[in-house]
Amino acid sequence: MYKFLQKLGKSLMLPVAALPICGILMGLGYALAPGVMGVPGAPTTGAAFTVGFLLVKAGGALIDNMHWLFVIGVAVGMADDKDGTSALAGLVSFLMMKSLLAPGVVTTIMPAINDDPVRLLAFQKFENVFPAIVAGLIGATCYNKFKNTQLPDWLAFFSGKRCVAIVTGVVSIGASVILLFVWPIIFGALYAVGQAIIGLDVVGVGIYTFLNRLLIPTGLHHALNNVFWFDTVGIGDLTHFWAGRVMGDVVDGTTINWSVGMYMAGFFPCMMFGIAGAAVAMVRAAKNKKVAIGIVLSAAVCAFLCGVTEPFEFSFMFLAFPLYVVYALLYAIFAMITVALGFRAGFCFSAGATDLVFSASLPAAQNTLLVIPIGIAAFAVFYLVFYFAIKKFNLKTPGNEDEDAEAEEAKIVLSNNDFTAIASGVLKAIGGKENVSNVDYCTTRLRFEIKDYTAINEKAIKAAGAAGVIRPSKNACQVIIGPKVQFVYDELKKML
């Protein structure tokens, strides 16, 4: 399972790498054009508004369609040989499930869903990261399983990779049937949890915030957000905040009986300062600091400016999930502290500096300058906790993965460039193709899954031209080649 999650985590890094620039563009856009967020009194015309509007739309092009990025990233990353056919298969799967589970379709085949607002909302919120990852996994699995399928002569045109999309479509129909019943149950359960914690005041804020972060990997946080932020069941913290309402106001005969903004305020210190502290800890603890800096520091800038946290969270949530649970718990603690101290703020997009500045003038906003001392405390605590956990337990965060030990291996120079001879020698020394279950490669190493570890001859592997051998388990063997590993791998694949 760990190996699967590690591979999934790496697959998610491709789409995640596209997100930081979007967050920065949106942050700058909102700063230039607060009218885009509907800030009362903000101009909605002029050069600054036009430029800001375009920047927001440019950044939103990917942020708003993030699920498509994850479909393709997972489908390609989880495929055995990173072939584009797997991306097509993932896309087929998501298009199939998206269409079959659209609100108009499910209410046609099951009209009773129209009478259940929560079940209907579940299908209205289907286009998110969790179904996207499921579709990517379906596409990759179908590709790995059926890419070499041989069909009868009269169907020969659809043999091999051409049959992958067809099989994927059939599998996705079955998956849609399962999700038709399972998805609203999961969504509804979380919705019910949200209702149960509303009356717990500050403690309820902590529980909500913890679950909000914990559910980010699945996209199911939308179920909770609809309970607390929007007027789905009569709460609408975000809706009331931007409408200029405060506690005690009466709306449609119902009195607002909570401190407006309390379900948003706690995110600001964590997103603006806490993530920055965690990012610095990751860089300091990393073996390969250049990799860490490139991934997490840009993500921290996104989080600070406009509250886009996915580039940071997806960089480690699958590789070091226990640390992600701690991360969610830190959010909960600081959310409770923030609300207890009387800080109130709101957001239209997310809890970044841009929304904080433009929400500060609204009636429900309170003690907004408290974000500075609370934020400094969040920075320090996130830093200390992350640094201790990464160093103590050798957690696989950006720049600290197993592959980062290959930084020195990247300097290896092969004695010759006869890649065919090297591949042939390594294959023979590994026990022949009969002993190979699977082979892949990374920055500098060939990564074998083997059947019989006793058949491996390490001296012969080195004699073939490899720089070294690592044997992490009985069924795994890593052969260190150096930066030209891809060329050896290509020859090896031909032999297999």
C-alpha 413 chain-centroid distance: 36
Burial of 254 (0-12, 13-18, 19+ CB in 10 A): exposed
Length of the chain: 496
Q: In the block, which residue shows the tokens 């969610």? A: 328
Could you report how far apart the first and last alpha carbons of the chain are, in Å? Answer: 26
> Cβ–Cβ contacts within 10 Å for residue 480, how many?
18
User: Phi and psi (nearest 5°) for 307?
Assistant: 75, 20
442 as an active site residue: the answer is yes
Q: Is 221 left (phi over 0), alpha (psi -120 to 50) or beta?
A: alpha
Both tokens of residue 186?
A: 């999961």
- The rounded distance, in Å, linking the Cα atoms of 102 and 360 is 38
- 395: closest CA among 273, 269, 278? 278
- Other beta carbons within 10 angstroms of residue 111's beta carbon come to 9
The 3-state secondary structure of 229-286 reads CCCCCCCCHHHHHHCCCCCCCEECCEECCCCCCHHHHCHHHHHHHHHHHHHHHHHHHC
At 404, list the tokens. Answer: 């980062």
Q: Nearest to residue 478, comparing CAs of 435, 428, 455, 444? A: 444
How many C-beta atoms lie closer than 10 Å to residue 391's C-beta? Answer: 13
Catalytic residue among 22, 142, 270, 442: 442
Plot region of 248 (φ>0 → left; ψ -120 to 50 → alpha; else → beta): left
Rounded to whole angstroms, how far apart are CA atoms 204 and 353?
25
In angstroms, how far apart are the furthest CA atoms of the chain?
A: 83
Alpha-carbon span 31 to 43, nearest angstrom: 12
Q: Which residues sit opposite 447 in a β-bridge?
A: 440, 478
* Rounded Cα–Cα distance for residues 105 and 113 (Å): 11
E strand or H helix that includes residue 473: strand 468-473
Beta carbons within 8 Å of 20's beta carbon, 6+ residues apart: 298, 299, 301, 302, 308, 311
User: Which positions are catalytic?
Assistant: 442
